[in-house]
Structure 1
Amino acid sequence: MPTPTAIPPAASPGHGPRPATRAVPALLAVALQAVFYLPRVPSPAGAGQIPGLDKLVHIALFGFLVWALARFLAPVRRFPVGWVVIGAIVHAIVVELIQGALLPDRAASPGDLAADAVGIAAGLGAWAWERRVRARAGASEADAAAGGGGVRG
């Protein structure tokens, strides 16, 4: 009796780049969060005059953080991605509390928290989309390897 053939890791849903490849964006995303704890935010000349730029930065940094950490920690549903979201929410609140209480040239902002929430949702959405794309690609590769070819007459 032939033994069932396992789908190779690259073709299995949720598998993607190797852990080392997933770690680099995660480490970068965590390092970029340091900007929220700086006493002052360095900005290029005229950048403060662009309305909403601060909120776009919050959205981008929190989105990247959630996407990268979810991608690193939950590649095969072993780590509940909800913990990444909860951690990001707690981090957003802590950032605003520290900025309001401990950094004299910074201020806590409900608008920043809202932008962080949008970024968290966007990062989660990007992670979920990437997983679906990888799962479909893995299923197509497995079907092709099994001789299905995916074309029916």
Structure 2
Amino acid sequence: MAQPAVVGGGRPSREGRVARRVLLGAAVISCLAQLIALYRPAGPPAPDLVPHLDKVGHLVIFAVPVLLIMLWRAARRRGRPGPWFGTAVIAIFVGHAVLSEVVQGALLPDRSGDLFDVGADLLGIAIGYGTAVLIIARRTLISQWKPGDR
């Protein structure tokens, strides 16, 4: 995404369209991976060699989709995801974090709900969102910079 998403006249550049499609595809894939990880009938496929390593997995499977969705939206809207979009993304993923543990505990016999997993999910959401905000702010500052500015 080295090229700006929009070039002259407000028409999206080819590079911008490709970047948005890649971001959208990656976001969809990360959401599908999240659903598989959270709702497969059995727990993690390998034993937990490192205690609480699954918490890192929870953090990652929530951080990555939030980050990618926010970046996709920002690329789609010329660097601004919109005032309510971030709030909606956070609300949806927070709800999903809680719901997934309830489903695991109540409906999946080989799984159990874990409050610490929800904590890891929430931390992942915060890290994904915070990282997106920093990337978007940096790209905005760079795009507004003019040679000769100090």
TM-score using structure 1 length: 0.77
Counterpart of 1:77 (choices 78, 81, 95) is: 81
CA distance in 1, matches of 2:5, 2:37: 40
Q: C-alpha deviations, 1:39-96, integer Å up to 9, x for none?
A: 113434xx41211211000001100111112222344234621100000001111101
The answer on whether the counterparts of 2:70 and 2:132 sit within 8 Å (CA) in structure 1 is: yes
CA distance in 1, matches of 2:27, 2:7: 20
Count of residues paired in the alignment: 134
The answer on whether the counterparts of 2:59 and 2:121 sit within 8 Å (CA) in structure 1 is: yes
CA distance in 1, matches of 2:134, 2:125: 14
What CA RMSD, in Å, does the superposition of the two structures yield over aligned residues?
A: 2.5
Q: One-letter code of the match for 1:35? A: A
1:130 aligns with 2:143: no
Percentage identity across aligned positions?
27
- Structure 2 counterparts to residues 40-119 of structure 1, below 5 A: 40-44=42-46, 47-75=47-75, 76-78=80-82, 80-119=85-124
Q: One-letter code of the match for 2:109? A: P
Q: Secondary structure of 2:48's partner?
A: helix
List gaps (5 residues or longer) in structure 2. 9-14
**Aligned residue in 2 for 1:31:** 32
CA distance in 2, matches of 1:121, 1:31: 20
List gaps (5 residues or longer) in structure 1. 1-6
Q: Which has the larger radius of gyration?
A: 1
**Aligned residue in 2 for 1:20:** 21
TM-score using structure 2 length: 0.79
